[in-house]
């Protein structure tokens, strides 16, 4: 990636020099000064893809008629329906793209997308190449000002699809988390289509691999696919995914299972197991913090709690398997370690309390002793007067 980046930069710099000269002879720029501004920033200008490559015409004259003459193969403004083919004339041609190491499958993918299919049926409201890339200010995706730079993708799609992703993922993107998915991660940039129901877990599983593996081993995988239910999205949604916790078991399972069904009971059982482990962990962590505030050395307890937490964190994805014995095993380990730490810290607290009481008694005794001595001294002094 960075090697490619470097070579592109070097090429671009070298070519910008050449471009400067080539564009001096490009009289289209003289009259079309608004487009000139965008165009000179674009990667096409840097690689000498000139106005004529897309529009035809004669770039060596300042005579408007001659410049736009049909004899000079001027083709005017491309119709929306023609644009993908125009771009593809270079971008699908392996011979032309080879020197740049660019993929040549964008047009092929586009044709299989919902956008491409509807365009072929004459619906020109769909996205064509220039809706996502612009026509004259085309920049590579790694350039932060590009309309297809990952941070800008949601707003690029949202020009037509009212801002969709409102959940954890877009919140994470907004915070600059580059690991969160954009529209194009789940839908593909050029294959934009909702993932088929049976493919949702693959899409989500690109990042949530453990959840995917356990979901696919569950009875849900087969029966959800058979009944055309969208896998992960049927419980989490696709664009308004909320942060998860134990409450989900009370709200989501009853969408499909009766409140007295076996399935719902299984959900409640899992919830109870997770809750118990979680509460025990929280309590132990709280005690640990208290002990630490009293400057007690708690490092041994801390490493045991880290171990307990890791069992709990394993149980969260495993929960998707609906495999009670497996969940029980992990939550039991988490809970028993946490309980252990808890009771040690409790008895430790007890010892501390007794010590404190002892110390207080000693001080009270000493204080009383001093008072007695003082009074005795005073009495003696009084006798002398
Ligand atoms: C002498 C100034 C001048 C030059 C040189 C010139 N243009 Fe134009 N161009 C214009 C003007 C003015 C219009 C708008 C006139 C109109 O709408 O008919 C225009 C319109 C266009 C349009 C839109 C036409 C349509 O039918 O939608 C395109 C595309 C275009 N020019 C491309 C080019 C290209 C490519 C070159 C260089 C080969 C070029 N022009 C050279 C002045 C110029
Ligand atoms: C990579 C192909 C490509 C190149 C290079 C290109 N254009 Fe265009 N141009 C288009 C497309 C596609 C449209 C259709 C409008 C759209 O989708 O935004 C267009 C639209 C236009 C229009 C009419 C609409 C408008 O935006 O005003 C003019 C005028 C124009 N181009 C002039 C130019 C000039 C001058 C240059 C060179 C500086 C140039 N174009 C370079 C593809 C290109
Ligand atoms: C005459 C051939 C030609 C045409 C037509 C053409 N391109 Fe390009 N395009 C290139 C070349 C050459 C490059 C520079 C290669 C590179 O980026 O390394 C390029 C670069 C790009 C890039 C940046 C790729 C990257 O990541 O580096 C995008 C995006 C792009 N073009 C989109 C389009 C779109 C959209 C259209 C149609 C409106 C189009 N191109 C029309 C030749 C063309
Ligand atoms: C719905 C929006 C959309 C449409 C339509 C679209 N693109 Fe893209 N394109 C993207 C996004 C987003 C990226 C960058 C991220 C990626 O590649 O996953 C991209 C990347 C590219 C790249 C760079 C790929 C690389 O390997 O660096 C090229 C070239 C390109 N598109 C050409 C085209 C062409 C040609 C068309 C029309 C046939 C087109 N795009 C239509 C959104 C779109
Ligand atoms: C120029 C407007 C426009 C842009 C930009 C655009 N789309 Fe679309 N998109 C449409 C239209 C119109 C449809 C067709 C809706 C329908 O089914 O009637 C569509 C359909 C879709 C569908 C299929 C919906 C379905 O119900 O099957 C998906 C998925 C999609 N777009 C994703 C994206 C993504 C992701 C991006 C950005 C990378 C994007 N779109 C950018 C206009 C656009
Ligand atoms: C985490 C993955 C993911 C992300 C990110 C995502 N989508 Fe989707 N999208 C899906 C799934 C899964 C479906 C189909 C399941 C469903 O209907 O809930 C879908 C369905 C769609 C549809 C068609 C159905 C509908 O609701 O109209 C459109 C259009 C769409 N998404 C556009 C977008 C746009 C635009 C963005 C970015 C702003 C985006 N998506 C971000 C996963 C995602
Ligand atoms: C039958 C409903 C259901 C399905 C289907 C489902 N989940 Fe979950 N998921 C839940 C519940 C309930 C929780 C909350 C567990 C907790 O925190 O107590 C959860 C938690 C999560 C979490 C956060 C906790 C963790 O594991 O770290 C992620 C991420 C997640 N699910 C992803 C997925 C993915 C990816 C899929 C598809 C492969 C999926 N889920 C399918 C119900 C479901
Ligand atoms: C490109 C990677 C990626 C893809 C694809 C992806 N996610 Fe995520 N997901 C993340 C990241 C990163 C976070 C953490 C966001 C945060 O907390 O800041 C996250 C968070 C979540 C959470 C919240 C977990 C919690 O602890 O509360 C759930 C639930 C979730 N994703 C479900 C899904 C589902 C369902 C899909 C598919 C429709 C999906 N994800 C696709 C990266 C991804
Ligand atoms: C979108 C619908 C849907 C949701 C939501 C859902 N399930 Fe299911 N579940 C099914 C389907 C379909 C089956 C296949 C058997 C059937 O039809 O009852 C199934 C089967 C099961 C089974 C195995 C069969 C059985 O009855 O013992 C269990 C256990 C189960 N689900 C638990 C859950 C739990 C726990 C939740 C909530 C975290 C949940 N389900 C949420 C659709 C769903």
Report DSSP letters for 144-186, one per residue: TTSTTSTTTHHHHHHTTS-----SHHHHHHHTT-TTSPPHHHH
The finding on whether 249 has its CB within 6 A of some atom of ligand 9 is yes
Ligand 9 atom 2 nearest Cα: 256
In a domain, 318, yes or no: yes
In a domain, 288, yes or no: yes
User: What's the mean per-residue pLDDT of the chain?
Assistant: 90
Task: Indicate if 278 and 238 belong to the same structural domain.
Answer: no
Q: What pLDDT score does 348 carry?
A: 75
Task: Indicate if 238 and 266 belong to the same structural domain.
Answer: no
Boundary-marking domain end, from 182, 214, 242 = 242
Give the residue, out of 26, 28, 49, with the most ligand 1 atoms within 8 A of its beta carbon, to mutate for a pocket test: 28
For 365, the 3-state DSSP assignment is helix
Give the residue, out of 185, 205, 211, with the most ligand 7 atoms within 8 A of its beta carbon, to mutate for a pocket test: 211
Ligand 4 atom 2 nearest Cα: 132
The finding on whether 87 has its CB within 6 A of some atom of ligand 3 is yes
The finding on whether 130 has its CB within 6 A of some atom of ligand 2 is yes
Q: Measuring from each residue's beta carbon to the nearest atom of ligand 4, which residues come in under 6 Å?
A: 84, 87-88, 91, 102-103, 106-107, 110, 115, 127-129, 131-133, 141, 148, 153, 184, 189-190, 192
Q: Report in angstroms the alpha-carbon separations of 74 from 40, 149, 160, 317.
A: 21, 33, 31, 60
- Between the CA of 76 and the centroid of ligand 9 the distance, in Å, is 58
Q: What pLDDT score does 244 carry?
A: 94
Per DSSP, helices labelled H in 217-323 are 219-226, 231-236, 248-251, 262-293, 299-318
Compute how many other C-beta atoms are within 10 angstroms of the C-beta atom of residue 167.
16
Atom of ligand 4 nearest to the CA of 102: 26
Q: Report in angstroms the alpha-carbon separations of 250 from 235, 258, 268, 276.
A: 12, 12, 8, 16
Task: Indicate if 304 and 270 belong to the same structural domain.
Answer: yes
Q: What pLDDT score does 14 carry?
A: 52
Q: Which of 208, 171, 219, 168 is nearest to 321 (CA)?
A: 219
Split at pLDDT 50, 70, 90, the class of 10 is low
- Between the CA of 153 and the centroid of ligand 7 the distance, in Å, is 26
pTM over 0.75: yes
Task: Indicate if 312 and 374 belong to the same structural domain.
Answer: yes
Q: What residue numbers bound the domain in which 216 lies?
A: 196-242
pLDDT tens digits for range 100-147:
999 999 999 999 999 999 999 999 999 999 999 999 999 999 999 999
Task: Indicate if 273 and 374 belong to the same structural domain.
Answer: yes
Residue pair 222/232 in contact by the 8 Å Cβ criterion: no
Long-range interactions of 340-345: CB distance < 8 A, separation 24+ = 340/304, 341/284, 341/287, 341/288, 341/301, 341/304, 341/305, 341/308, 342/280, 342/283, 342/284, 342/287, 344/301, 345/284, 345/287, 345/288, 345/291, 345/301
Atom of ligand 6 nearest to the CA of 158: 35
Task: Indicate if 238 and 268 belong to the same structural domain.
Answer: no
Q: The dihedral of CA 184, 189, 194, 199: what is its sign?
A: negative
Atom of ligand 3 nearest to the CA of 100: 18
Task: Indicate if 319 and 379 belong to the same structural domain.
Answer: yes
Q: Report in angstroms the alpha-carbon separations of 247 from 166, 206, 290.
A: 20, 26, 29
Asked whether the predicted pLDDT for residue 228 surpasses 80, the reply is yes
pLDDT tens digits for range 151-165:
899 999 999 998 677
Q: What pLDDT score does 260 carry?
A: 93
Which stretch of 61-65, 254-258, 324-328, 356-360 has the lowest confidence by average pLDDT? 356-360
Ligand minimally distant from the alpha carbon of residue 229: 9
- Between the CA of 51 and the centroid of ligand 3 the distance, in Å, is 13
Task: Indicate if 237 and 279 belong to the same structural domain.
Answer: no
Residue pair 86/54 in contact by the 8 Å Cβ criterion: yes
Task: Indicate if 313 and 204 belong to the same structural domain.
Answer: no
- Token duo for residue 179: 């690991």
Ligand 7 atom 26 nearest Cα: 317
In a domain, 65, yes or no: no
pLDDT tens digits for range 57-93:
999 999 999 999 999 999 999 999 999 999 999 999 9
In a domain, 272, yes or no: yes
In a domain, 257, yes or no: no
Atom of ligand 6 nearest to the CA of 169: 5
Sequence-ordered list of residues with C-beta below 8 angstroms from that of 54, at least 6 positions apart, any chain = 78, 86
Ligand minimally distant from the alpha carbon of residue 173: 8
Task: Indicate if 234 and 279 belong to the same structural domain.
Answer: no
Boundary-marking domain end, from 208, 242, 276 = 242
Task: Indicate if 225 and 318 belong to the same structural domain.
Answer: no
In a domain, 351, yes or no: yes
Asked whether the predicted pLDDT for residue 278 surpasses 90, the reply is yes
Number of domains in the chain: 2
CATH of the domain at 317: 1.20.140
Ligand 5 atom 37 nearest Cα: 157
Split at pLDDT 50, 70, 90, the class of 1 is very low
Compute how many other C-beta atoms are within 10 angstroms of the C-beta atom of residue 90.
16
Q: State what percent of residues in the chain have pLDDT above 70.
A: 93
Sequence-ordered list of residues with C-beta below 8 angstroms from that of 130, at least 6 positions apart, any chain = 83, 87
The finding on whether 229 has its CB within 6 A of some atom of ligand 9 is yes
In a domain, 200, yes or no: yes
Compute how many other C-beta atoms are within 10 angstroms of the C-beta atom of residue 182.
22
Task: Indicate if 270 and 371 belong to the same structural domain.
Answer: yes
In a domain, 221, yes or no: yes
pLDDT tens digits for range 293-337:
877 788 889 999 999 999 999 999 999 999 999 999 999 999 999
Split at pLDDT 50, 70, 90, the class of 13 is low
Q: Please give the residue that has the higher pLDDT: either 7 or 254.
A: 254
Residue pair 67/27 in contact by the 8 Å Cβ criterion: yes
Q: What pLDDT score does 288 carry?
A: 92
Ligand 7 atom 38 nearest Cα: 212
d(C-alpha 211, C-alpha 320), whole Å: 6
Q: What pLDDT score does 28 carry?
A: 96
């Amino acid at each position: 990636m960075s090697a490619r980046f470097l070579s592109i930069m070097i090429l671009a710099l070298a070519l910008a020099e050449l471009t400067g000269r080539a564009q001096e002879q490009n009289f289209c720029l003289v009259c079309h000064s608004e487009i000139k501004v965008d165009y000179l920033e674009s990667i096409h200008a840097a690689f000498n893809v000139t106005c004529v490559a897309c529009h035809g015409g004669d770039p060596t004259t300042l005579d408007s008629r001659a410049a736009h003459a049909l004899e000079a193969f001027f083709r005017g403004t491309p119709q929306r329906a023609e644009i993908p083919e125009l771009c593809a004339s270079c971008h699908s041609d392996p011979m032309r793209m080879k020197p740049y190491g660019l993929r040549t499958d964008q047009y092929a993918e586009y044709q299989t997308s919902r956008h491409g299919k509807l365009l072929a049926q004459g619906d020109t409201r769909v996205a064509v190449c220039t809706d996502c890339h612009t026509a004259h200010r085309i920049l590579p995706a790694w350039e932060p000002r590009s309309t297809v730079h990952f941070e800008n993708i949601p707003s690029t799609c949202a020009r037509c699809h009212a801002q969709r992703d409102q959940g954890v993922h877009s919140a994470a993107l907004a915070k600059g988390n580059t690991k969160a998915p954009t529209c194009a991660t789940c839908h593909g940039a050029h294959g934009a289509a909702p993932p088929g129901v049976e493919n949702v877990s693959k899409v989500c599983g690109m990042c949530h691999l453990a959840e995917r593996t356990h979901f696919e081993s569950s009875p849900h995988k087969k029966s959800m696919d058979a009944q055309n239910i969208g896998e992960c999205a049927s419980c989490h949604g696709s664009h308004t995914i909320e942060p998860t916790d134990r409450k989900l078991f009370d709200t989501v399972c009853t969408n499909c299972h009766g409140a007295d069904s076996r399935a719902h009971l299984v959900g409640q059982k899992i919830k109870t197991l997770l809750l118990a482990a979680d509460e025990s962990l929280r309590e132990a962590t709280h005690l640990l913090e208290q002990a630490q505030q009293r400057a007690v050395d708690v490092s041994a307890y801390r490493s045991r709690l880290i171990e307990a937490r890791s069992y709990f964190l394993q149980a969260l994805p495993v929960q998707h398997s609906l495999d009670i014995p497996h969940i029980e095993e992990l939550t039991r380990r988490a809970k028993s370690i946490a309980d252990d730490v808890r009771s040690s810290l409790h008895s430790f607290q007890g010892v501390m309390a007794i010590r404190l009481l002892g110390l207080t008694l000693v001080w009270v005794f000493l204080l009383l002793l001093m008072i007695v001595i003082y009074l005795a001294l005073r009495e003696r002094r009084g006798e002398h007067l």
